[in-house]
Amino acid sequence: MSSVRAHREKERAERVAQARAFAEAVAQALGPLTAWVYGSVARGDFHFASDIDVLVVAPDFPPNPLRRLELLYRFTTPGIEPKAYTSEEFRKLLAARDPQLLAMLSFRVVLRDDLELEPALARALAEPDKPGKNAGNPGQD
């Protein structure tokens, strides 16, 4: 393996470890959760200024998105960029095959899966696109 590739893999492992420490700290405060790294770090195409995108799913986040972020930012370290869904929100988006969610998590690193969401996500990503009630009109419900 080239030294450049080895260095790159080491950098990625360090970023994933930073994200894992964040997820562990959040879990100590909130209890069971599922968390993934997604985006450039998960894909491996990050650069020196890339943030570490982390999606956290937990049963009882505050309903207000700003309050959720306030809560998560208590545990962040520089470079962590959290996003949060409640378990119910995540399951609804997954059941609806939300294109943004599926694209976001198509490349991911599982940090922890206390809520056992990874198998359902993997199944949804493996399924061919299923036509919905508005398959011909994306965005129309």
Q: What is the pLDDT of residues 27-45, one digit of tens each?
A: 999 999 999 999 999 998 9
| Cβ-contact 18, 79 below 8 angstroms | yes
Q: What is the pLDDT of residues 73-131, one digit of tens each?
A: 999 999 999 999 999 999 999 999 999 999 999 999 999 999 999 999 999 999 877 64
| Cβ-contact 68, 62 below 8 angstroms | yes
CATH fourth-level superfamily of 3-126: Beta Polymerase, domain 2 (3.30.460.10)
Q: Helix or strand or coil: residue 14? A: helix
Neighbours of 72 (CB within 10 A): 23
Q: Tell me which H or E stretch contains 100.
A: helix 99-104
- Per-domain boundaries in the chain: 3-126
Q: What are the DSSP E strand ranges found in the chain?
A: 34-38, 52-58, 80-86, 108-113
User: According to the model, what pLDDT value does residue 130 have?
Assistant: 62
